[in-house]
Amino acid sequence: MQHYFSDMRVMLGRSLRHVFRSLDTIITVTIMPIAMMLLFVYVLGGAIQAGTDNYVNYLLPGILLIAVANSIGYVSYRLFLDKQRGIFERFNSMPVARSAALWGHVLTSLVSNAVSLTVIVLVALMMGFRSPAGVMSWLAVAGIIGVFTLALTWIAAIAGLSANSVDGAGVIAYPIHFFPLISSAFVPTATMPGPVRAFAEHQPVTPIVEAIRALLSNQPVGSGIWVGLAWCVGIMVVACFVAGRVYRKQG
């Protein structure tokens, strides 16, 4: 077990170095969500009726999930490159725990997103975001986002390990982006046309956004948090199982 965690730590360090040396990743995962937050708050916020005087408070949970969604394409891309270059086969020929390389990418997604989201929250504070939430509420928010990140990361792992080209590996990010956009992340679902509203209210992101928003506002969360977590855990378990099967076929 000690050998396994040592291998995983090495693989995590390797993947993190790739992330923090990639300007493109930093721009997409951190700077773009911040730019989107600035755009919605200072340009479009006055025209959006969200039922609150402080729109950045309403917007922030959705921006956090958008940032996670932005990172997914890079997870898939890096896994594809390791597969294409035969990195997994090389590790398998060495005294290294076989699953450590895959888990290195998964944990890198968690760590890099944690750093990115922290920066986004700090910028939101400078823009006027305020929260009466206590430590336990913030920890609950971190837990929800962590499970959401793992669910999307395992989906990206399937795409990266199964793809036959770089474009095929990165395309998984595009459909995932629709879920935060067509949800209550930016506007209340009550303002949407009937069919769009039905989709927005019955997809994973809306209950997650609503739960995070309630926790940060120190309001009752209700059953939404359990619906959101059920979606995330269900997706994570299935995607983890499938990704593991695909990974074991790599060599």
In this predicted model, what pLDDT tens digit does every residue of 50-69 receive, in sequence order?
667 788 888 999 999 999 98
SS3 string, 108-133, reads HHHHHHHHHHHHHHHHHHHCCCCCCC
> CB burial class (10 A; 0-12, 13-18, 19+) of residue 66?
buried
The pLDDT of residue 203 is above 90: no
Q: What is the DSSP letter of 51?
A: S
- Across 135-144, average pLDDT: 92
Q: Residue 194 and residue 233: Cα distance in Å, rounded?
A: 28
CB within 8 A of 17, min separation 6: which ones? none
Rounded to the nearest integer, the mean pLDDT of the chain is: 85
Q: How many domains does the chain have?
A: 1
Please give the biggest Cα pair distance in the chain: 60
**AA letter at 212:** I
Domain that holds residue 235: 2-248
pTM of this prediction?
Answer: 0.89
pLDDT score at 2: 62
pLDDT grade for 138, boundaries at 50, 70 and 90: very high
Q: Is the dihedral of CA 89, 95, 99, 101 positive or negative?
A: negative
CA–chain centroid gap for 184, Å, is 17
Interatomic CA distance for residues 40 and 121, integer angstroms? 15
**The predicted structure's pLDDT at residue 218:** 86
Would the pLDDT of 142 be above 70? Answer: yes
